[in-house]
Amino acid sequence: MPPPSPHAADWLEIAVQVAGIDAEAVADTFRPHCPGGVAIEPATRPQGDEDVVDGDAPALVKGYLPPGVDSARVRRSLRLVLRFAPLESPPRWRRARRLREERWRDSWKRYFKPQRIGERLLVKPSWAKYKVKAGDAVIEIDPGMAFGTGQHPTTAMCLRALENRLRPREAVLDLGAGTGILAIAAARLGAGRVLALDIDPQAVKAARENAAANGVQGEVEVREGTLPEGVRGQRFDLIVANISGLTIERLAANLAGALRRSGTLIVSGFLEDTVEALGRSLAAAGLTVDQVEAEGVWRAITATRIGRA
């Protein structure tokens, strides 16, 4: 534990190194306890002239505690939760450090940089400056209490699939919306209407705020809920769901039922060893797997609904 700071306004940064595959899950564990923000410092590898995230390498999850919070209690709680969490490898805690206000503000934001995904999509935090090209579909997402800033491979794969498969004026369902990044992307790419569902009230709040900040609140409706009740009998041309493999398997029939004939399903949030079982579940529900995309250990499936409307 660091020595007491003479500055009452010091923030505390707590950090743990985990396997890259576990980083988002650990960050989700941190978020309710770290009102000063949570950041994932991913490992990177060179690719051409840029450094890209290496999702297979260890990552550092950092949480920020404001002055006045019982940091000892928070750290005890997090250590206990992670000790019994089903992680790929044991977490390695770093020494906590104190930060002045201005260092905290810069520190947790430094890992969220503009990134190009696919041909047209540009995902950036609101504070970052970036030269926009003609035809860019810009999405401003600030990291907060909900999942989805475009950094994680599963989010990136869903965004690329959306760009490839979405047609103008189509109706889209974003199941497990998180920050609403996929719903916002769909609106930016020309969807006629988008329904975003999440069972987490904090995610619903974040998605609504982000839709408004991006000026697409007219096209994107955000509600708390899931399938089948959440769609109220609606059918969609495209459904995107970045959720767990088990949830996709459980909801396969409902996902197929919410699609129009020849509609597209894009799912991610699972590992390579889940693909075969998911393919069987989707086929049983009347879907044909068109493509399996890989990024590191993560996978995404694009499928098409067959049969009668």
**Distance in angstroms (rounded) separating the CA atoms of residues 188 and 211:** 11
**Distance in angstroms (rounded) separating the CA atoms of residues 141 and 122:** 10
What's the pLDDT at 5?
39
pLDDT in tens, 112-154: 778 899 999 999 988 888 888 888 999 998 766 556 677 788 9
Q: What is the mean pLDDT of residues 172-196?
A: 96
Higher pLDDT among residues 182 and 39, named by residue: 182
Q: What is the mean pLDDT of residues 16-34?
A: 88
Give the other-Cβ count within 10 Å of 273's Cβ.
10
Task: Give the residue from 103, 34, 96, 88 showing the smallest Cα distance to 63.
Answer: 34
Higher pLDDT among residues 167 and 271, named by residue: 167
Q: What is the mean pLDDT of residues 81-87?
A: 92
Q: Is the bond preceding residue 66 a cis peptide, omega within 30 degrees?
A: no
Q: Which of 20-34, 187-201, 274-288 has the lowest mean pLDDT?
A: 20-34
pLDDT above 70 for 247:
yes
Instruction: Give the homologous superfamily in CATH for domain 153-305.
Output: Vaccinia Virus protein VP39 (3.40.50.150)
pLDDT above 60 for 277:
yes
What's the pLDDT at 43?
66
What's the pLDDT at 44?
58
**Distance in angstroms (rounded) separating the CA atoms of residues 31 and 54:** 23
What's the pLDDT at 165?
97
pLDDT above 50 for 1:
no
Q: What is the mean pLDDT of residues 275-284?
A: 96
**Distance in angstroms (rounded) separating the CA atoms of residues 189 and 168:** 7
Mean pLDDT of the chain: 87
Q: What is the mean pLDDT of residues 35-48?
A: 70
Pairing verdict, β 11-18 and 97-99: antiparallel
Q: Give residue 289's Cα distance to chain centre.
A: 23
Whole-structure pTM value: 0.80
pLDDT above 80 for 162:
yes
What SS3 state is found at 297? coil
Contact residues for 74 (Cβ-Cβ < 8 A; gap 6+): 14, 33, 34, 65
Task: Give the residue from 188, 55, 173, 215 showing the smallest Cα distance to 119.
Answer: 188
- Helix axes of 71-83 and 23-30: crossing angle, nearest 10 degrees: 140
What's the pLDDT at 308?
54
304: amino acid identity, one letter: T
pLDDT above 70 for 26:
yes
Contact residues for 86 (Cβ-Cβ < 8 A; gap 6+): none
Q: Where are the domains of the chain?
A: 11-109, 153-305
Q: How confident is the model at residue 103 (pLDDT cuts 50, 70, 90)?
A: confident
The CA dihedral of 167, 183, 268, 32, to the nearest 10 degrees, is 180
What's the pLDDT at 185?
97
What SS3 state is found at 56? coil
Q: What is the CATH number of domain 11-109?
A: 3.30.70
Residue 110 φ/ψ region, left for φ over 0, alpha for ψ in the -120 to 50 degree band, beta for the rest: alpha
**Distance in angstroms (rounded) separating the CA atoms of residues 184 and 181:** 5
Q: Which of 113-122, 214-223, 258-267 has the lowest mean pLDDT?
A: 113-122
